Structure 1
Amino acid sequence: MADDEADGGTGHGAVDGAEGRVGDGAGDGVLRLGGRSFGPGEFAVMAILNRTPDSFFDGGATYATEAALEAIDRAVADGADVVDVGGVKAGYGEHVSETEELRRTVDFVAEVRARHPELIISVDTYRSGVARRVGEAGANLINDTWSGSDPELAGAAAEVGAGLVCSHVGGLAPRTDPHRMAYDDVVADVIRTTTALAERAVAAGVRRDAIVIDPTHDFGKNTWHSLEVTRRVDELAATGWPVLVAPSNKDFLGESLDLPSGRRGPATMAAVSVMAWLGARVFRVHDVAGIRQALDLIAVLQRTKQPAYTRRSLV
């Protein structure tokens, strides 16, 4: 079912200003974060690390500092290229002040930077004040999952030399769950919004090759919308901007297959695999080892990576 059949309506949340030019995006197509580079056909795994006591998935398992550091060590060993640290639960819940978010993230980012000098560190925040402080502490990427709600965020990322994730939430305020969202064409709205934010970030001083766009599954979307975005990720990739996707254990998978959050791993793997084949480049996930293996096989199938060895029927 097309999203207009599911919801109808006229659409929400398009950002006024620059339109994305198909095929333009990040210039040479290489994403550069920290000391790492990811060219077209190369996949980056982003491990989720919640410094929150109320995460929807882990329930606060990595809220304590030592548990969080151990989780990062495991993620790196399992093949994570990026770790995404969040100090505020994405959905509605108890208010978290900027002071508290800083307490949960800044010193932790500095510790992770000292512990893993080559790791790309991302911080999931919509606040420019937090972006500046975590950038100074060593973060390479600001993951703004709330679509530029703070107009100073892109400038803050530029000040500290960090990259930026430009997302789509249909015009919702931070930590707001969607209710009867409607779009004429959700994918067109995603492209219009994220590419405009990306160009705005470039104008604010963020490096073009350090920007990714994110359709932001479930944020400002019902299940029909998230499914439509999943099957049409190739249209986002065609803009030339590297595409980040974060389907891991989300509600659209649970509603599609009638599964609780703890049993959505295989569905997450399927969604990631489809979107990787369609051109997504960065994958924000809980199961680093499993997703790393799936993406490595996709790279072999797409001939951007060689098999580890080929002895069968040859020796």
Structure 2
Amino acid sequence: MTGYFRPIPMQDTTRSADARAIAGGCCWFDRAERITRGGTRELVGIADIPADVLERITTPRAPMAGLTFDAPRIMGILNVTPDSFSDGADFIAPDAAVAHARDMVATGADMIDIGGESTRPGADFVPVNEEINRTAPVIKAIRAEMTTPISIDTRKAPVAQAALEAGANLINDVAAFTHDPVLAEVAAQTGAPVCLMHAQGDPETMQNDPLYDDVLLDVYDFLSERINAAVTAGIPRNRIMVDPGIGFGKTMQHNLTLLRDISLFHTLGCPILLGASRKKFIGVISGARSAKDRVYGSVSVALDAVAQGVQVVRVHDIEATKQAISLQTAIRGQQE
């Protein structure tokens, strides 16, 4: 590739004659920004985008784990941990976790993401058996009540295997198979779709001094390489979702750069997931010290992502996010 091509997302109801939909969704584009490692950026038209790149940007994303991507989808966060940064210990009791899952689905969650190991900066490693004991029974109990898709947020193969056996539908790996390569084998053998996220370093140390040559292009290249590794392991590209990993080994400026240009990741040809809900940079910018007071900032970030064609937003505040997205799509004439 002679450069990286970031489609410029638009949502206006009036489109130019050569406009193309981004990934078959509600956003369109008729130009792109060509970015090089040398630091140049220039606007180019549709005709200047290589055919293979254009195809990856425009091809509708295939359904995955019970989700379609013709409209924005909401992944609700359910941490069954004692130490997560926002809701640690709130739902560690199985009954509380199941009740919260009911509430999330009732208020608009399209998928529930269940995690048994905190990945906040400085978090300790959780042994495999403990993580299984936290997550598998909760997944089994939720699955007994509802058919809503469930993802298991883990970087360990045995945890994912137990979760899939309990009824989970997707593996959400913050390490993109770099922590436990066997996890790719589990996904390939079971046919489970995956979300591959970028992180620089482990949670214990990732925020010590994150450095990049170019954070946008470095994260893009990492995800491109991990997609290729997953495909080589036997996971088809149409079962892969990507996440740029906001807050995982990134400064505030790194986060803002990725959010500003997140439409670049459409060029990977996979659905994009964004997990920025209640994170520290939102509090720094808005002045909201407590994670639970960052609802408004979190919704603002989610709306901006949706306006750039991001297919899935991973959030704590389901009802607020659902309401905001519903209004945005109605105003733009994009009701489901």
The match for 1:156 is: 186
The Cα shift of 1:26 comes to 9.1
Matched positions, count: 282
Mapped partners of 1:136, 1:43: distance in 2:
28
The Cα shift of 1:237 comes to 2.2
The match for 1:4 is: none
The Cα shift of 1:48 comes to 0.3
Q: 1:23 to 1:153 in 2, by over 3 A?
A: farther
The Cα shift of 1:133 comes to 1.6
Mapped partners of 1:97, 1:110: distance in 2:
20
Residue deviations 1:115-168 (CA, integer Å, cap 9, x gap): 112x11001000011111211221111111123221121221122221111111
The Cα shift of 1:49 comes to 0.2
Mapped partners of 2:58, 2:155: distance in 1:
26
One-letter amino acid of the counterpart of residue 305, structure 1: Q
The Cα shift of 1:256 comes to 1.8
Confirm or deny: 8 A CA contact 1:26 1:240 kept in the other structure: yes
* TM alignment of 1:81-120, pairs within 5 A: 81-91=110-120, 92-117=122-147, 119-120=148-149
Paired residue secondary structure (1:37):
coil
Paired residue secondary structure (1:122):
strand
TM-score normalised over the length of structure 1: 0.84
Alignment partner of 1:140 is 2:169: yes
The match for 1:280 is: 310
Instruction: Select the structure with the greater relative contact order (CA < 8 A; seq sep ≥ 6).
Output: 1
Residue deviations 1:209-238 (CA, integer Å, cap 9, x gap): 221110111101010100111111111123
- Higher mean alpha-carbon deviation, 297-306 vs 45-54, is at 297-306
Confirm or deny: 8 A CA contact 1:29 1:242 kept in the other structure: no
Alignment partner of 1:215 is 2:244: yes
* TM alignment of 1:58-69, pairs within 5 A: 58-69=87-98
Mapped partners of 2:56, 2:185: distance in 1:
19
The Cα shift of 1:302 comes to 4.1
Residue deviations 1:99-126 (CA, integer Å, cap 9, x gap): 1001111122122111112x11001000
Confirm or deny: 8 A CA contact 1:52 1:86 kept in the other structure: yes
Q: 1:239 to 1:101 in 2, by over 3 A?
A: same
Confirm or deny: 8 A CA contact 1:177 1:220 kept in the other structure: yes
Mapped partners of 1:22, 1:175: distance in 2:
37
The match for 1:32 is: 63
The match for 2:82 is: 53
The match for 1:195 among 224, 246, 250 is: 224
The Cα shift of 1:53 comes to 1.1
Confirm or deny: 8 A CA contact 2:124 2:204 kept in the other structure: no
Paired residue secondary structure (1:48):
strand
Paired residue secondary structure (1:59):
coil
The match for 2:327 among 291, 297, 300 is: 297
One-letter amino acid of the counterpart of residue 38, structure 1: F
The match for 2:34 is: none
RMSD in angstroms over aligned alpha carbons? Answer: 1.9
Q: Tell me, which stretches of 5 or more residues in structure 2 are unaligned?
A: 1-51
The Cα shift of 1:174 comes to 4.7
Mapped partners of 2:87, 2:104: distance in 1:
15
TM-score normalised over the length of structure 2: 0.79
Same amino acid, percent of matched pairs: 34
Mapped partners of 2:197, 2:55: distance in 1:
18
Q: 1:27 to 1:278 in 2, by over 3 A?
A: closer
The Cα shift of 1:184 comes to 2.0
Mapped partners of 2:206, 2:192: distance in 1:
28
The Cα shift of 1:25 comes to 4.9
The match for 1:9 is: none
Confirm or deny: 8 A CA contact 2:57 2:267 kept in the other structure: no
Mapped partners of 2:207, 2:59: distance in 1:
36
